[in-house]
Structure 1
Amino acid sequence: MSQMLLAPRRYIQGDGAVAEIGLHAARLGTRALLVSGRRALAACGGPIEAALAGSGLSCHRELFGGECCESEIARLVCVAQQNGIDLVIAAGGGKVIDTGKVVAHRLKLPVIVLPTVAATDAPCSALSVIYAETGVFERYQLLPHNPDCVLVDTRIIANAPVETLVSGMGDALATFWEADTCARSCRPNVLTGAKAPLRSALALARLCYDTLLEHGLAAKLAVANRCVTPAVEAIVEANTLLSGLGFESGGLAGAHAIHNGLTVLKSSHDRLHGQKVAFGTLVQLVMEGRPAEQFQQVLEFCRSVGLPVCLDDLGIHAPTRDDIRAVAEAATAPGETIHATWFDVTAATVEDAIWTANALALNDRSQRVSR
């Protein structure tokens, strides 16, 4: 089977880049549907509309309903049809972006993605994560092509809550480890169908990981002070572009499946996507029997930037055996990405790995306190 590398048609990043959206939108349409949440509209709605008007485009604003689910997608499709829309612009976080991509796909329209947080690697991918209205993971929606344009204004990112940047690091953290698993197993990538990542995909995934280790803490501290620095630019690129290309062309494995499993516990719903993926990465490393120093490196990185390392950090307090068994069963459902692992994974395998990763993190924490 052929190998492949997937990417958006254009990627633009920089301080003040939102002012350029009209130039790129004018290539794609004349009447835009701007889908965004209230906070994202406050952050960039005015500049987007001004830039579009300056390039001769009209714009219809529509508030996002809050969940990337079938009912919200259908509602926005109707809004677009009623207003003669020929271009979709999705501005906000991962769920807004995923919704906008599906809406554009169903209407056969181009889409521009403008993330207002660097919290996930959703912006660059030809994939949307569909949830139930209750927030429980339902399925991956594979799309025929990547976004036509991804535009990232790092000043907007730096003004967003620092927790969103850290969550993006948690999502990006899984990229290398999952791609490495897919390369070892040569099992079909559920996203592309390819049996092994290209060397370029693996190189991007590795660069993503190395960038996190080198610049993660400095970027977090800069954004905590609403500053744009070279470290912030590097981490935004890692969270958005490197992780986006790396996960889609490299493949998903255990970490994201465990994230999906965690969504069956209502107590985890107020945690961000990347926070759950970070813990899922630790679980994946335990499950795969990776060397202790690799687990420790990931654990220490998570601690340094403030990512969750145990169940309690995720708001899952005093879970029962039944709770974790339910997570494990959801993570190993047929078609889940955990089956890209180079050995057969069962719910019992995942359950044991969750408890063990949790215990290792708690043990490490207690040792630090006692020093």
Structure 2
Amino acid sequence: MPTPSEPAPAGAGAVRTLIAPLRYVQGRGALARVGEFVAPLGRTPLVVADDAVWGFTGGTVRDSFAAAGLPLVRDGFGTYATAAAVEAIAARIGETGSDVVVGVGGGSTIDAVKAAGHLAGVRWASVPTLASTDAPCSALSVIYTEEGAFEEYRFFPRNPDLVLVDTQVVANAPVRFLVAGVGDALATWVEARAVARTDSETMAGGVPTLTGTALARLSWDVLWENAESAVEAVRHHLVTPAVEKVVEANTLLSGLGFESGGLAAAHAIHNGLTAVPHTHGLTHGEKVNIGTLTQLVLEGAPRAEIVAFVELTTRLGLPNTLTEVGLGVDDVDALTTVARAATAEGETIHAMPFAVRVPDLVDALRSLETLSTTIRDRAALPAPAAHRA
């Protein structure tokens, strides 16, 4: 495992803060206990899950709620956490008289539920069925347009009251989603160390604590030691100690690390990539992986660190070139659109220790093709199968 450069010590005098979910629950079979953990939060829950997710979770949730003496009202969900979706869920909370709303499914479902719970003034719980993002633990939601482009962050005064992850459910899902979660989580330390160098404000509402930065680093270390073993296990729908560790790193450690350690260029570049239609079929973590590699290029990170990152993420199946995300080095207009969105006012790229201008970012993105293919060729690594033309 490479040892990335450490951030410089942060200055004194600023307010430091760490935020976290009220309770985190993880393990094989945890979904069968969801009623037990929801019951202390409210007695009239509204569950939000799309039809596909409800098909493999509904029976377990229904039985668990019955055992806890809870009524079950379930609403469906669409594709993206849009403003309209949030308002519709909030309206349903009012109609049903619910005092807690539970999101079961992927990151968009959970983000919409968090935003709706805040809007309706009730408590909210996250029950992710994938370990594909660190969204379940955070006190924010990413809101998209109906077409899937990033629109805004919404921030809330508290984190979810409950995050519950059933690792067998995660292991039963297509392995691409666990890999995507690794792509999202690997960015956590790369971004947090940049934020620590500048003492920029994090999404927790202050500058980073030592704890937030350390958790970001721990996420990185856990993934380097366990990600490949976990991915192989999940290909066969197995839950092993490596899977448990990676699920925790993807969900809890990355969630705490990004929110209280800080975001920088990688997630801003992800947001920029959503501004072009070429990338809309990709997962969040696949786009973030392009952002992380681009951040390393912008930083002038040591060559050994970049090589190790490309080799690991290629072996996992994550994209590292523009071609693999539907773009190309000659798509200058599209890349300029990406760069402008990524460097917009308020974006997290401004937490970097130096200014990032649109031409700088376009050139960094264009450099990925030759950089990654050269590293792969020298290591005799083919492009990830999911992204080959």
Structure 2 residue 247 is the aligned partner of structure 1 residue 236: yes
Q: 1:322 aligns to what?
A: 333
Q: 2:53 aligns to what?
A: 40
Q: After TM superposition, give the deviation of residue 366 of structure 1 in Å.
A: 3.6
Greater shift in the superposed pair: 319-328 or 219-228: 319-328
Q: 1:306 aligns to what?
A: 317
Distance 2:100 2:156 in 1: 17
SS of 2:282's partner is: coil
Q: After TM superposition, give the deviation of residue 80 of structure 1 in Å.
A: 1.7
- Structure 2 residue aligned with 1:12, among 25, 37, 54? 25
Structure 2 residue 322 is the aligned partner of structure 1 residue 288: no
- Structure 1 residue aligned with 2:78, among 49, 65, 68? 65
SS of 2:154's partner is: strand
Q: 2:351 aligns to what?
A: 340
- Structure 2 residue aligned with 1:164, among 172, 177, 182? 177
**Structure 2 vs 1, CA of residues 11 and 370 (structure 1 numbering), >3 Å: closer, same or farther?**
closer
Q: 1:81 aligns to what?
A: 94
Q: 2:233 aligns to what?
A: 222
SS of 1:123's partner is: helix
Q: 2:7 aligns to what?
A: none
Gaps of 5+ in 2: 1-13, 383-389
Note if contact 2:21-2:137 (Cα within 8 Å) is conserved in structure 1. yes
- Structure 1 residue aligned with 2:126, among 113, 132, 140? 113
Q: 2:117 aligns to what?
A: 104
Aligned residues: 369
Q: After TM superposition, give the deviation of residue 158 of structure 1 in Å.
A: 0.4
**Fraction of identical pairs, as percent:** 45
Distance 2:227 2:167 in 1: 15
The one-letter code of the counterpart of 1:162 is V
Note if contact 2:311-2:375 (Cα within 8 Å) is conserved in structure 1. no
Q: After TM superposition, give the deviation of residue 70 of structure 1 in Å.
A: 0.7
Q: What is the TM-score with the length of structure 1 in the denominator? A: 0.97
Distance 1:147 1:31 in 2: 17
Greater shift in the superposed pair: 344-353 or 209-218: 344-353
Q: After TM superposition, give the deviation of residue 199 of structure 1 in Å.
A: 1.3
Q: After TM superposition, give the deviation of residue 370 of structure 1 in Å.
A: 10
Distance 2:381 2:57 in 1: 47
Structure 2 residue 166 is the aligned partner of structure 1 residue 153: yes
Q: 1:29 aligns to what?
A: 42
Q: After TM superposition, give the deviation of residue 358 of structure 1 in Å.
A: 2.8
Distance 2:369 2:192 in 1: 23
Note if contact 2:311-2:379 (Cα within 8 Å) is conserved in structure 1. no
SS of 1:151's partner is: strand
Q: After TM superposition, give the deviation of residue 213 of structure 1 in Å.
A: 0.8
SS of 2:55's partner is: helix
Note if contact 1:187-1:342 (Cα within 8 Å) is conserved in structure 2. no
